[in-house]
Chains A and B, each alone.
Chain A
């Protein structure tokens, strides 16, 4: 028995040592001013770090939420700006462009194929329909091609068949914006500008507003180079896009009101 006890005592020396040292540390920090100050300072630092860590973790959790709420606010602002823009056209308030803006997040995006699409996380249930224009904060990026209940497929500007009506800011001549031969996602071509139009490098290209996809006067890009192919009456214009389609996060889908009426009218006329 005594043997076991002594063996236990031997083994017990480690916990005893640790316990006594703990008591010593407690004594030190509670009865010595300097050590107490150091301990509380260190503990405070530690607490501060823990707090910081926990808030940063909290931020991570709420970051997406906050981004979404910011993009919602942005959409409301865009709506306001677009309607205010329309009002400056003049007294004829009936002609005012009015768009409702639906914020969306890009969840898939391709840029290096011939036909590129962007997938967004809003669909039919969020009010998105086919042939709505999609813009980013810096300019147009595409047109809605297909819609499911919760997602929408957007034909990006970098699609071979993408055609956007655009005009030159300075001269007012309009043409159509299309994907050129370059695979560079920042480069597009502007076709159908007649060769008598005055043109210079650096001219700004805007949306024309002729289609119902985008409001009039949104910046698209600037003229990079231009030339007239032999035996042609039209410029070939290469321009640099403002929106960076290779780096999209939040986009805004534009829903133009009264669009059906106009389309109906145009269709009737064409059928006859």
Chain B
């Protein structure tokens, strides 16, 4: 139990640092305004199913808020990640494999296969980035820009997340 806590605590800090130290710098270097890289949603995606929904939502809010403090955009990332955490159970039940889930383990690429993982990740990631861009623009007047930003960032982030999964996904 305490080992798990330590593990998820490390993930929390790890994804936070990865986002603000690596991907934020990449965004700055690329400086292509349409693209933003989102790696930290993987923390929520990787949480085991037995974790309380309310706790997942709260953790999403907390991680988003921390990211916001670095990005200097209080509430924007937090609202997106909170929404994503809230909708995770719905997506999970939507893409549920025939044999069901192992609630004690992280839902990973190796456990349920690539097509399952793609559905799971892309649905939630798209939702996350969409909410992020809506919060960021804060008006539907620029709905075309919202969609364009969402699409490009979604593609870029999906590639990063897949690559990261292939390299570092927890096998157990």
Contacts and interface: CB of A to CB of B under 8 A. Distances in A.
A24 B136 CA distance: 12
Interface in A1-28: 6, 9-10, 12-14, 16-17, 20-21, 23-28
A24 B73 contact: no
Contacts of B135: 24, 28, 35
Contacts of A39: 138
B54 A27 contact: no
B79 A24 contact: yes
A32 interface: yes
A177 to B, nearest CB: 65
B45 interface: no
A21 B82 CA distance: 7
A16 B60 CA distance: 12
A9 B55 CA distance: 9
Contact of A27 (B57, B75, B138): B75
Contacts of A28: 73-76, 79, 135, 138
Contacts of B86: 13-14, 17
Contacts of A9: 52-54
**Category for how many chain B residues contact A:** 20 to 34
Most B-side CB within 10 Å, residue of A24, A25, A42: A24
Given A26-B75, A31-B74, A12 B138 contact: no
Query: What DSSP secondary structure best describes chain B's contact surface?
Result: helix
Nearest to B73: A32
A23 B73 CA distance: 14
B78 interface: yes
Contacts of B57: 13, 16-17, 20
Given A16-B57, A28-B135, A38-B138, A6 B78 contact: no
B56 to A, nearest CB: 8
Interface string B65-92: 1001000011110110011011000000
A39 to B, nearest CB: 7
A207 B61 CA distance: 85
Contacts of A60: none
Given A32-B74, A38-B139, A39-B138, A20 B53 contact: no
Q: Which 8 A-B pairs have the closest CB atoms?
A: A27-B75, A24-B79, A28-B75, A35-B138, A31-B74, A17-B86, A13-B53, A24-B75
Given A17-B82, A28-B79, 17 more contacts: A6-B52, A13-B57, A16-B54, A17-B83, A20-B57, A20-B82, A21-B79, A23-B61, A24-B75, A24-B78, A26-B75, A27-B75, A29-B138, A32-B74, A38-B138, A38-B139, A42-B139
29 contacts: A6-B52, A9-B53, A9-B54, A10-B52, A10-B54, A13-B54, A16-B57, A16-B58, A17-B57, A17-B86, A20-B58, A20-B61, A20-B78, A21-B79, A21-B83, A23-B75, A23-B78, A24-B76, A24-B78, A24-B79, A25-B75, A27-B75, A28-B76, A28-B79, A32-B75, A32-B138, A35-B136, A38-B138, A39-B138
